[in-house]
Amino acid sequence: MSISDKTRKLLWAKAGNRCSYRHNGAICDKELIHSENDNYVIIGEECHIVDQNNNSTRYIENFPNVDEYENLILFCREHHKIIDSDGDTYTSHVLKKMKSDHENCILDRLEKKQIEIIDIKDSVFETEAKNVDEAIGMEVNQPANLSNVRASLKAENVRRAVGFSTNQGLSSLVMTCKICQRPFSFVCTGPLSSIITCPLCGNQNDRGL
């Protein structure tokens, strides 16, 4: 068995795209997908709470549902290595508490709008897939504003092909800028912002007016 796409999306969304490490007052909170020179780099790693490796102190023989969401926690590479190298300190019980505390913190910050919404603009995402079960052209699993973005998917012998996927709410609208008077389209995942920036002139439009 392996981690399913649904489980993976749930894990990353609930962790808020951030490292879950928090222990004895130390908190990482590092973003696990970030942009470098307009390229998106993934530095997050999915870790088992009850381990699959029989050399680990967190190993339980014949543990059921080892690849399910409840048995997974998200770390940056550094902290994944740290917790795997010190099984006496980082027990399954400790990791479960880390995960619960981190996800509750993310939920609270989202409700208070303390997590910054990312901007994705002027980008083309091109994906080619052959002979696989599933292919996704573009996937966004955190609140984001999308402007002048195109996703292209070429699929051959693919059981399930999806052009765009998100576990967030998706909003799309067309507005006329109050300054330049030109229409523009706006798409976002997550909550719809009350202030929307015109991609043509940069004016901030209040959609409530």
pLDDT digits over 104-120, tens only? 998 888 777 666 677 78
- 111, 131, 146: which is the final residue of a domain? 111
pLDDT band per the 50, 70, 90 thresholds, residue 209: very low
Residue whose C-alpha is closest to residue 186's, from 144, 155, 157, 158: 144
User: To the nearest whole number, what is the mean pLDDT of the chain?
Assistant: 84
Q: Tell me how many domains the chain contains.
A: 2
Both 156 and 106 in one domain: the answer is no
Both 63 and 150 in one domain: the answer is no
Q: Could you please report the per-residue DSSP string of 111-156?
A: HTT-SPPEEEEEEEEEEEEEEEEEEEEEE--S-EEEEEEEEEEEEE
Q: Average pLDDT of 15-33?
A: 89
Q: Average pLDDT of 174-179?
A: 87
Q: Average pLDDT of 1-22?
A: 88
Both 105 and 167 in one domain: the answer is no
| pLDDT value for 139 | 79
Both 74 and 129 in one domain: the answer is no
Q: How far apart are CA 99 and CA 22, in angstroms?
A: 9
| pLDDT value for 37 | 66
pLDDT tens, position by position, 43-74: 899 999 999 888 888 999 889 889 999 999 99
Helices (DSSP H) in the chain: which residue ranges? 5-14, 77-85, 92-111
Both 145 and 65 in one domain: the answer is no
Q: How far apart are CA 109 and CA 139, in angstroms?
A: 23
pLDDT band per the 50, 70, 90 thresholds, residue 101: very high
Handedness of CA 178, 194, 115, 138 (dihedral sign): negative
pLDDT of residue 168 exceeding 50, the answer is: yes
The strand pairing partners of 153, in sequence order, are 127
Both 95 and 161 in one domain: the answer is no
pLDDT of residue 94 exceeding 90, the answer is: yes
- State the residue range of the domain holding 164: 118-206
| pLDDT value for 200 | 82
pLDDT band per the 50, 70, 90 thresholds, residue 1: low
Q: Average pLDDT of 67-91?
A: 93
